Amino acid sequence: MTGAIDVTGKILTEPVKIQTGAHEEAEQILKRIYRSIDHTISRLNLSNDKISGIGIGSTGPLDINKGMILDCPQLPSLQYFNIKENIENRYHIPVALNNDANSLILAENLFGIAKNHKNVVGFTLGTGIGCALVFNEKIFNGATGTAGEIWASPYLGKTIENFVSGQGVSDMYYKLSGNKRNAKDIYQLAQKGDNKALQTWDEFGKHLSIAISWTINLIDPEIVVLGGSIAHAEIFFRKSLEKHLRKQICSLPADTVKIKVAKLGDYAGFIGAASLILQQIDHKIDIKTSVS
Query: Under CATH, what is the fold of the domain 4-103+267-291?
Result: Nucleotidyltransferase; domain 5 (3.30.420)
Q: Note whether 4-103+267-291 and 115-262 share their fold.
A: yes
Task: Quickly list DSSP for 232-257.
Answer: GGHHHHHHHHHHHHHHHS-HHHHHH-
Residue 289 amino acid letter: T
Average pLDDT of every residue of the chain: 92
Q: Output the pTM of the full model.
A: 0.89
CA dihedral (77, 81, 84, 89) positive or negative = negative
Check pLDDT > 90 for residue 273.
Answer: yes
Check pLDDT > 80 for residue 289.
Answer: no
For the segment 141-168, what is each residue's pLDDT rounded down to a tens digit?
999 988 998 999 999 999 999 999 999 9
Domain boundaries, the chain: 4-103+267-291, 115-262
Between 239 and 48, the higher pLDDT residue:
239
**How many helices and strands in the chain, by DSSP H and E?**
9, 14
For the segment 91-107, what is each residue's pLDDT rounded down to a tens digit?
999 999 999 999 999 99
Class of domain 115-262: alpha beta
Between 236 and 59, the higher pLDDT residue:
236
Indicate the pLDDT class of residue 285, thresholds 50, 70 and 90: very low
Q: What is the spatial distance between Cα 208 and Cα 161, in angstroms, rounded to a whole number?
A: 10
Cβ-Cβ contacts under 8 Å for 117 (sequence gap 6 or more): 109, 221, 222, 223
Least confident of 147-151, 201-205, 257-261: 147-151
Indicate the pLDDT class of residue 280, thresholds 50, 70 and 90: confident
